[in-house]
Structure formats: structure tokens, C-alpha cells
């Protein structure tokens, strides 16, 4: 995701923020909302990654506390020509993962305990490569900021419902204003889900497969995570749906197909694209990361294992 697109989307969120402020307090409310939005955007740029990691109770690990996981991330980051990101573990049973950070130099990869327990080492490598692809594509800046700003919009809309303001000479938002406030709060989260183009997941799948050299490792992982996401609830994600777009698979229950407002492409479509890429690799297509960075499709980890990555 390039920086121009990031700026355009943040401008849209700011406009929505100002619209809510106008409903609460007219022109002066819109101006105050603009100032608050500017401060929120600046704060989110520097702190949104820490806020999201803190929201999910993620704790940082290193080579002494999680040598296999950190070593795997380091190997893949080297293959992707990326700085070593910080690595975090989330005490959550649902297998899932996300990347965050304003740029590759300040990036982090977070995985759940469930992911480590349910995936093989090869499948885990595919997932980590996908998250590193988001970092390399600069998707993580938009992912983290939008989650923070959307949460602020929802809070402002709810504030307006209860405390209101005025429009013109009428005190309070009135019935119509209250209804609009009720609509705007969930709309903010929906806009975040729509804003992260689903093509970015396809792009991260493609680049991740090229980083790890084995598209079917990621495909297998996606199927496992998708199945588990419908069986194992992620309570924190359910309480914060605006962050759903950050995960490799939608952590919310009941989201398994492509639809107008889906945050992710269907897993079936993603697996089909990865199968096609695997066929191209088999036909001799070089899994290239760039003009001068060709990685062979041979496994860098040895024979695939049916065991989990930690035993």
C-alpha cells in the first residue's frame, strides 16, 4: 500500500470524523473534530501499533524465550531483504496472526499460541512470510492507523448520541441526529473493513509464497486457520471488530465468503490462487521478489513435517 493511498484514506476518515463533529456541534463542532482528528492521526502514526498489540495482550519474545519462532522469522526476513521485526506472542487459542508497524524499520509480527500449536513448521513459515509481505508492501501502516482512527470515530459518534450538541438554533441532535449517530458508529468499523482492499491479501499471499518458496504451505495454513476461526472464538477481536482486517484470516465468526463488505477474500479463492502459483513454480516460473531477487521454489526447511513446529 503506497503512502499516497494511505494519505487519501486518512483524509476520508478525517472527513467522516468532521461529519460526526458537525452533527454534534455544527460548524464549530466540525472544526474541533478536525483538530481532534489531526491529533488522532498523528498519535496513531506513532503509537497505533503499540495500542493494537496491547489490545490483544501481546508480549514480545526473543531467541531465549521462543527460539524456534524467532529463528524462523529471522530466516524469512533475511530472504525478504527486510530488517528483523519484533516478534510477539498472543495468549489466544484461535490460530491467527497479524503484522503491524509504521514502516519496515519499526515493524512487528504477532502470532497466537493457537497458531503455534495447530500448524506445522512449514505452514507457520507460510503464515509468517505472508505477514512479512504485508510489511514489505507497507500495508501495515494503513492497517494499524485505520483501526485506531475508526475506534475514535465510533467513540465520538456514541458521545454525540448521549450528549449531543446543536445544529443551527436547535439544541441537541434531535431524533434524526440520534439515529444518524447510531448508524455512524458501526459504519466507522465497516469503512475500515472496506478500506483495506482485499487485493492486498492476494498480493501478500503471492509475495509471501515467493518469500518462503512453497505456495502450498501457506494454502494449507489458510485452510486450517479458516476452519478453526469458525470453531474457536477470539473474544478480543469480537469486542474490537475494527481490527479484524489486520489478521491473516478474519477472526470474527461467520465470515467465510466474498461479499461486498468482507474484510478478506474467501479462503477458497486464496487457495486457488496459491495453487495456480504453485503450478507456475512447477512449470519453471521463478518465484521472484524483484528484478534481481529470484528465490528458488525448493524448500529451505527440508522435508515437510506433519508435527507442530515445537515438537
CATH of the domain at 278: 3.30.2010.10
Residue 87's pLDDT is 98
Q: How many CB atoms lie within 10 A of CB 87?
A: 24
Grid cell at residue 12: 476520508
Same domain, 151 and 265: no
Same domain, 209 and 258: yes
Nearest CA among 241, 283, 282 for reference residue 146: 241
Residue 147's pLDDT is 67
Residue 232's pLDDT is 93
Same domain, 123 and 211: yes
Q: Does a structural domain hold residue 299?
A: no
Same domain, 35 and 159: yes
Q: Choose the final residue of a domain: 161, 195, 229.
A: 195
Q: Does a structural domain hold residue 126?
A: yes
Q: Does a structural domain hold residue 301?
A: no
Same domain, 77 and 129: yes
Give the predicted TM-score (pTM) of the model.
Answer: 0.77
Same domain, 166 and 271: no
Same domain, 174 and 157: yes
Q: Does a structural domain hold residue 83?
A: yes
Tell me which of 122, 123, 131, 226 is the catalytic residue: 131
- Domains contained in the chain, number: 2
Distance (Å, rounded) from C-alpha 101 to C-alpha 82?
13
Helix (H, G, I), strand (E, B) or coil at 307: coil
Nearest CA among 139, 204, 185 for reference residue 9: 139
Q: How would you write the pLDDT of the chain (311 residues) with one tens digit per residue? A: 456 766 676 677 777 777 777 777 777 777 877 787 778 777 777 887 898 999 999 999 999 999 999 999 999 999 999 999 999 999 999 999 999 998 999 999 999 999 999 999 999 999 999 999 999 998 887 776 776 676 677 777 666 666 554 444 454 555 566 566 667 656 765 666 566 667 789 999 999 999 999 999 999 999 999 999 889 999 999 888 878 888 999 998 755 445 555 678 889 999 999 999 999 988 655 454 443 344 334 344 444 444 444 43
Q: Does a structural domain hold residue 308?
A: no
Q: How many CB atoms lie within 10 A of CB 93?
A: 18
Same domain, 71 and 151: no
Same domain, 217 and 186: no
**Domain interval for residue 122:** 57-139+201-294
Same domain, 210 and 270: yes
Same domain, 148 and 40: yes
Residue 227's pLDDT is 93
Beta bridge partners of 112: 90
Same domain, 162 and 47: yes
Query: Under a CB-based contact definition with an 8 Å cutoff, are residues 243 and 147 in contact?
Result: yes
Residue 38's pLDDT is 74
Please indicate whether residue 131 is annotated as part of the active site: yes
Amino acid at each position: 500500500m503506497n503512502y499516497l493511498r494511505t494519505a487519501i484514506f486518512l483524509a476520508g476518515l478525517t472527513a467522516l470524523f468532521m461529519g460526526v463533529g458537525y452533527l454534534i456541534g455544527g460548524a464549530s463542532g466540525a472544526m474541533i473534530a478536525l483538530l481532534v482528528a489531526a491529533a488522532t492521526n498523528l498519535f496513531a502514526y506513532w503509537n497505533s501499533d503499540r495500542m493494537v498489540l496491547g489490545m490483544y495482550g501481546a508480549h514480545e519474545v526473543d531467541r531465549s524465550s521462543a527460539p524456534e519462532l524467532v529463528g524462523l522469522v529471522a530466516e524469512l526476513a533475511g530472504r525478504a531483504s527486510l530488517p528483523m521485526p519484533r516478534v510477539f506472542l498472543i495468549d489466544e487459542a484461535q490460530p491467527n496472526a497479524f503484522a503491524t508497524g509504521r514502516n519496515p524499520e519499526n515493524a512487528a509480527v504477532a502470532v497466537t499460541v493457537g497458531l503455534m500449536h495447530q500448524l506445522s513448521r512449514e505452514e507457520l513459515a507460510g503464515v509468517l512470510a505472508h505477514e512479512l509481505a504485508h510489511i514489505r508492501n507497507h500495508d501495515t501502516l494503513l492497517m494499524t492507523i485505520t483501526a485506531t482512527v475508526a475506534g475514535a470515530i465510533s467513540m465520538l459518534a456514541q458521545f454525540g448520541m448521549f450528549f449531543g450538541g446543536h445544529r443551527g438554533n436547535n439544541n441537541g441532535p434531535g431524533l434524526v441526529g440520534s439515529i444518524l449517530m447510531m448508524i455512524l458508529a458501526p459504519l466507522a468499523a465497516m469503512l475500515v473493513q472496506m478500506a483495506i482492499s482485499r487485493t492486498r491479501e492476494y498480493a501478500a499471499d503471492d509475495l509471501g509464497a515467493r518469500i518462503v518458496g512453497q505456495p502450498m504451505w501457506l494454502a494449507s495454513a489458510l485452510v486450517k486457520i479458516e476452519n478453526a476461526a469458525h470453531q474457536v472464538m477470539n473474544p478480543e477481536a469480537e469486542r474490537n471488530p475494527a481490527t479484524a482486517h489486520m489478521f491473516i484470516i478474519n477472526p470474527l465468526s461467520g465470515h467465510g465468503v466474498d461479499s461486498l463488505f468482507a474484510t478478506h477474500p474467501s479462503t477458497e479463492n486464496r487457495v486457488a490462487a496459491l495453487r495456480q502459483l504453485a503450478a507456475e513454480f512447477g512449470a519453471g516460473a521463478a518465484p521472484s521478489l524483484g528484478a534481481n531477487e529470484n528465490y528458488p521454489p525448493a524448500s529451505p526447511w527440508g522435508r515437510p513435517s506433519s508435527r507442530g513446529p515445537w515438537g
